[in-house]
Structure 1
Amino acid sequence: MNNFNRGKLFFIKFLQILLSILFFLALVFIIKWRIDSLYLNSISSRKVQISIIDEFTNTANEIFIATGLKDEKSVKPIVALDESKEKEKKESDNTTTKITVPEGTNVDELGEILMSKGLIKDLNAYKTLVDDMQIGNKIVPGTYDLNKGLKVREVLAKISNTNLKTYNINIDTGATPADVAKTLMENGVIVSQQAFVDSCNNLGVTAFAPGTHEILMPSKVANIIKSLTKN
């Protein structure tokens, strides 16, 4: 019994010492984190903040270098988050730009307008999306105030007065084109089951990837079919 009590007391004492050491190390780490943050702010013209993960990685690398386990040249410098840059990016995304779409503007001309305003970056990708959304003949003339943070699909939807919808469609294992057509029809994704089945036949598609698929509409039937065959 005495041996048991002595063992119990030793274990409790050991835990107390271990917790004290861990508390001390945590305190040292927090102080070092604060000092590193103050140092970076003292040499920067903008407010910067070091994440706790970056500080932990940096501290571990310093220990490895000091013990010779790592070469200093192989260690990347600590990455600091520049809050002002993040703020500038968010403000940039929230800024609006005004564009004017003249009467009779075609797809190519609209692309040039959007490119000049920084609303698109790739004309070929833009034309592919216009074709997929089937809005080439739906361009509505007028003046638009567009947020620069909008996706290209959202920009095109506004200019063509098109409603965007997202559908989550579940495809069962072994579903046939007719089965999928029925599911899509019931969810309002397509307007003709037979047209969908015919498109599958033309593309040589007989099987689909089981699971839940996200479908962005409007979209061409051929592209819907392709998206449903991908895992």
Structure 2
Amino acid sequence: MAKAAWPLWSDTEIDALELSYLNDIIQCRDGYSTFAAMGFAYYLVNRQGLTPDNYPVFFRLIESGNPWVIDALVGDKEPAKFLGSIQPNTFMLRECFRMLTTWKAGEIYPKALEIIYGLITLCYQVPEEGYRLYPLTVTDVNNMGKHLDKSKNQMDPLNRTILTTLDRIASLVEPQKPMPSEEIKDVALQANNIRGKFLDMTKQLNEAIPDILLERGNYEDRAVKPIVPEIRV
């Protein structure tokens, strides 16, 4: 009788298989993956910690937008300062603006947005330095502003963080500074325009931002709760 032909697995194939499962976990598409992603988040925070060598993995977990995973990452820390312990770079800012562009307003757990905006605000604390790291466009500014929630006041934590960021960017154009390029001027003026429309109770955001960007979702409707397994002894 012929012996069964067992597949010969290479280390590369096994690594790829493991990675496929990890990617599925991070996407939090069901309760089992959300529970596993929470465990992975706890592992990263408490065993490894956020470092210049592993922050892209943290970004993947933040991108999931899952409230339980984000809470596991942040713990009792202030979300806006979560990424402040490592040196910002162009990759980090590019990922931030990619997420802000991909996410609809309201469809992502606010704490995840506070993490993203906290990093952007830090990078643009000196706006010229931030711009050199990541040259903003008017579209980027619109995708930042679309996450403002006009149903809440300016003291709402998320609104306050976004408004602070827009104010920093608007300061790229100031009377005491040299006249910037037309691209920088357009970015600064749009940041100021969005901020002004939010703060003026007689105005609406769609007077500054295209309607298509202001379509809102609800993160509570799309948040997948973890399924906690019953442990039997």
Q: Which has the higher strand share?
A: 1
- Which of 1 and 2 has higher RCO (CA within 8 Å, sep 6+)? 2
Normalising by structure 2, we get a TM-score of: 0.22
Normalising by structure 1, we get a TM-score of: 0.22
